[in-house]
Amino acid sequence: MHRNRLHAVPERPVKIVGVEALSRGRSREAFNSTAVEAKAEDLLTW
């Protein structure tokens, strides 16, 4: 499994979740968190 890391803190893993709206109104977005074991749905809720 590939682990993403922040450039400023390379020893800290980061989970990145990308989303794209199914209808008009919002553009593509990316969210990141250091809670790498969390589900993508949880990160988007937080």
16-33 pLDDT per residue, tens = 999 998 887 778 899 989
| Structure-token pair, residue 10 | 């390379």
Higher pLDDT, 5 or 31: 31
Distance CA(28)–CA(32), nearest Å, equals: 14
Q: Could you give the number of structural domains in the chain?
A: 1
Provide the residue range defining the domain that includes 27.
Answer: 4-45
Q: pTM of whole model > 0.75?
A: no
Q: What is the pLDDT of residue 39?
A: 95
